């Protein structure tokens, strides 16, 4: 039950971050959003930092679940570099869709908050390294030279592409432009 409750709290925190930014994230607001009795969030996360860490861990877990599913599909279908780039471009476009906008805003709220919270920045860095490691493994499987360096570029490019959609909310992310950029990183 504790895991379910923590997941509920983390999801509520992500929703609040995505809808109203950092200023709207309070323990009481999370309780209300999650439909929990007052004090529930404080029981599991005594401090705001603990709440933010729970949110960033949940966000990373959700994104990694998407990427693992994509990786299984890529491995089964076409484990080439082009197949990998196609898969990444498709995922980036999916993450940028309107129905995922709050999740996307929460991602960047957490990144910005971490700039002023060294402990959160450390957690975020460790989680981000998980994405780099997964990308290195995929690039090695696809036979790419210098996979470590290129994996870091792919992760940075994904962040940049996603950030650009928040700055231009009326424009959808162009899959072909995303794919062209990813291909350029591999040259």
Please check the confidence at residue 1 and state whether its pLDDT lies above 60.
no
Domains of the chain: 55-185 (1.10.357)
- Go through 130-165 and write b for each residue having 16 or more CB atoms within 10 A of its CB, e for each that does not: ebbebbbebbebbebeebeebbbbbbebbbebbeeb
Of 156, 108, 111, the C-alpha closest to 131 is 156
pTM: 0.92
- The tens digit of pLDDT for each residue in 158-185 reads 999 999 888 776 667 899 999 999 999 9
Please check the confidence at residue 36 and state whether its pLDDT lies above 80.
yes
- The tens digit of pLDDT for each residue in 48-72 reads 999 999 999 999 999 999 999 999 9
Give the pLDDT confidence score for residue 169 in this predicted structure. 61
Give the pLDDT confidence score for residue 39 in this predicted structure. 97
> What residue has token string 């992760």?
155
């Amino acid at each position: 039950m504790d895991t379910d409750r923590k997941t509920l709290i983390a999801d509520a925190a992500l929703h609040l971050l995505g809808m109203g930014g950092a200023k709207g994230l309070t323990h009481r607001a999370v309780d209300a959003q999650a439909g929990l009795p007052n004090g529930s969030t404080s029981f599991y996360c005594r401090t705001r930092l603990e709440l933010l860490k729970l949110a960033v861990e949940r966000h990373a877990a959700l994104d990694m679940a998407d990427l693992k599913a994509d990786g299984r599909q890529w491995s089964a279908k076409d484990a080439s570099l082009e197949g990998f780039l196609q898969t990444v471009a498709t995922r980036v476009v999916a993450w940028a869709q309107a129905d995922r906008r709050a999740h996307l805003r929460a991602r960047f709220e957490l990144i910005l908050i971490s700039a002023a919270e060294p402990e959160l920045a450390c957690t975020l860095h460790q989680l981000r390294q998980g994405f780099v490691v997964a990308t290195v493994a995929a690039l090695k499987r696809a036979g790419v030279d210098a996979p470590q360096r290129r994996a870091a570029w792919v992760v940075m490019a994904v962040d940049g592409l996603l950030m650009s959609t928040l700055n231009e909310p009326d424009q959808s992310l162009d899959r072909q432009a995303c794919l062209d950029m990813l291909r350029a990183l591999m040259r």
